[in-house]
Structure 1
Amino acid sequence: MSIYVGNLSYQATEDDVLTVFSEYGTVKRVQLPTDRETGRMRGFGFVEMSSDKEEDAAIEALDGAEWMGRDLKVNKARPRTPR
């Protein structure tokens, strides 16, 4: 399972997100999608952690928390729906 992280600052990097989430456990992967046209980050991302317990702890602590001037939206990622 992975975690959805919304309302990220456009200046945030994968290393920044990794640092924040690693306080709650082992981070396996951080993915920050970019816009195809501009190459700029899209303001959200996904984090995979090594266990559900660690993911739950990160969600509990970071949902609604202010980081880099923005209030984060953090929850379990839903499966992608086909267009």
Structure 2
Amino acid sequence: MTVYIGNLSFDVTEEDLNSVFAEYGSVKRVQMPVDRESGRKRGFAFVDMDTENEETSAIDSLDEAEWMGRTLRVNKAKPRRGR
């Protein structure tokens, strides 16, 4: 069960996301992609949660929430398309 989080502040850390999403259930993994050339965070992340109920609870509570000066976009992650 993977959740996509968009419009993140560039100051957010994996630990920040882990602690916020842990309020809604068990967090298995947090991924914050970085730009290959600059090494800078890209402003979005993925959080793997244990169950679909936990995922739904996090999405319902955090989508369009204000956090660190930004309005979050939180939804179910879509499968990655082939390149």
Question: What's the TM-score once normalised by structure 1's chain length?
Answer: 0.98
Structure 1: 5+ residue runs without aligned partners?
Answer: none
Once the two structures are superposed, residues 5-54 of structure 1 have per-residue CA deviations (whole angstroms, 9 ceiling, x without a partner) of: 00000010000000100000110000000001111100000000110000
SS at match of 2:5: strand
SS at match of 1:3: strand
RMSD over aligned Cα atoms: 0.5
User: Which position in structure 2 is the counterpart of 1:23?
Assistant: 23
1:78 and 2:78 are equivalent in the alignment: yes
| Percent identity between the two aligned chains | 61
Q: For structure 2, which runs of at least 5 residues remain unmatched after alignment?
A: none
Shift in Å at residue 82 of structure 1? 1.1
The one-letter code of the counterpart of 1:35 is D
Q: State the partner residue of 2:48.
A: 48
